[in-house]
Structure 1
Amino acid sequence: MADVLVIGDRYYISQQLTDKSDVYSFGVMLLELISGREPISNVSFGVNCRNIVQWAKLHIESGDIQGIIDPNLRDEYDIQSMWKIVEKALMCVQPHGHMRPSISEVLKEIQDAILIERAALVSREGLSDNLSRISGHSSLNVGHHDLVGAELDISIDESVSQPSAR
C-alpha cells in the first residue's frame, strides 16, 4: 500500500519509475504541503482513511477545502489559489498514469496560483503601488512576509519541465 501511495500504480506493477509516477509523488507532496500532514497514518485521517490521498479526496468531494488546509496558515492565503493547487494535486494522484497531467502542466498551474496569491496579498496589504512589480516569475520557496515588496523568480530546471526517457 505504501508503495502505491508514494510512487503510484505503475511502479508497483512494473518496478520501474516513470514520469507519471513522479507526477503522482509530486501530487502527494503538494497535499502534504497544503495540509501539514504526513502521507500515511493509522490515526491522522480518521476511521475510513489511511493515507493523505483518500483523506483529501473525501474533503474535496464534499466541498470542504478548509478541512485539508494546514491551520498554521491562519487564513493568510487566497482561497482561489489554494483551490487551484488542491485540484491539480488531486489530478496528480489519479489512480492511472494516463489520467495524470504532465509535470509542465502542474508547474504552470502552480505559477498561476502564485500570481493569484501575490495579487491577493497586494490587495490585502493595500500595496497597490507594488502591483506593477508583480511579474510572471515567482518563488515556490517564500513565506508570506517574503512576498511583500520583493521581486521573485522561479527557476525551473529544464530536466524537470522537459522529462527524459528513463
Structure 2
Amino acid sequence: MDLGCRYYATGWLTEKSDVYSFGVLVLEIVTSRPVLMIDRASSQKYHISQWVMQLMKIGDIRSIVDQKVRENFDLSSAWKAVEIAMKCLSLNSIDRPNMKEVVSELSECLALEKARKRKNADTDMRKSNPVSRNFRESEVTPFAR
C-alpha cells in the first residue's frame, strides 16, 4: 500500500510518511520548483521527483539546482542533498531513511558548503589584501628571549 493510500485508509501519519514529505520539501527548496509540474507541450502533470530523476540519470545536477544560485554551490553538496531527498521519496517506506539519518546527511551537505565558502572567502581576502597575503604566506615565528 503506498503512502497516500495508507494514510487515507488509516488516518495515521508515521515517521516514514513525515520523511517522505520532508524529501519533497528538500526538492522544492533545492530546485525552487513546485511539487506538481506541467509539461507545456503536452499539458501533462508530473511530480517533481520524476523531473529530478530524469536529470539525475544524465548527471545534470546544475539543471536540478535553482538557477538563481547559478554556479555558486558545491557540486558534492548538491548531489548529496538531492540523493537524500530521493531516498526519502522511496515508494516502499521501509527503504526510506529515518529522520536522524536525513539530518546527518544534510548536516554533511552544510559542512561541505561552509567549507567551500570559507575557502572562497580566504582566496578573495588574499587577492584583495597584499599585506595580509604576504604575512600569511611567510614563515614568521617568534624568537625566544
Q: Normalising TM by the smaller chain, what interval?
A: 0.7 to 0.9
In the comparison of the two structures, how many residue pairs are matched? 124
Partner of 2:116: 120
Counterpart CA distance in 1 for 2:75 and 2:45 is 25
Bigger strand share: 2
Q: Does 1:75 align with 2:71?
A: yes
Counterpart CA distance in 1 for 2:64 and 2:86 is 12
Q: Does 1:50 align with 2:46?
A: yes
CA displacement 1:5-62 (0-9 Å, x = unmatched): xx65632454321100000000000000000001013247x87761101111111122
Q: Does 1:59 align with 2:55?
A: yes
Percent of aligned pairs sharing the same letter: 34
The normalised TM-score by structure 1 is 0.66
CA RMSD of aligned residues (A): 2.6
Q: Tell which has more relative contact order, 1 or 2 (C-alpha 8 A, sep 6+).
A: 2
The normalised TM-score by structure 2 is 0.75
Give the drift of 1:128: 10
Runs of 4+ in 1 over 4 A off after TM superposition: 46-49
CA displacement 1:111-165 (0-9 Å, x = unmatched): 1111111111111222699xxxxxxxxxxxxxxxxxxxxxxxxxxxxxxxxxxxx
Partner of 1:40: 36
Unaligned runs of 5+ in 1: 130-166
The one-letter amino acid of 1:92's match is C
Unaligned runs of 5+ in 2: 126-145
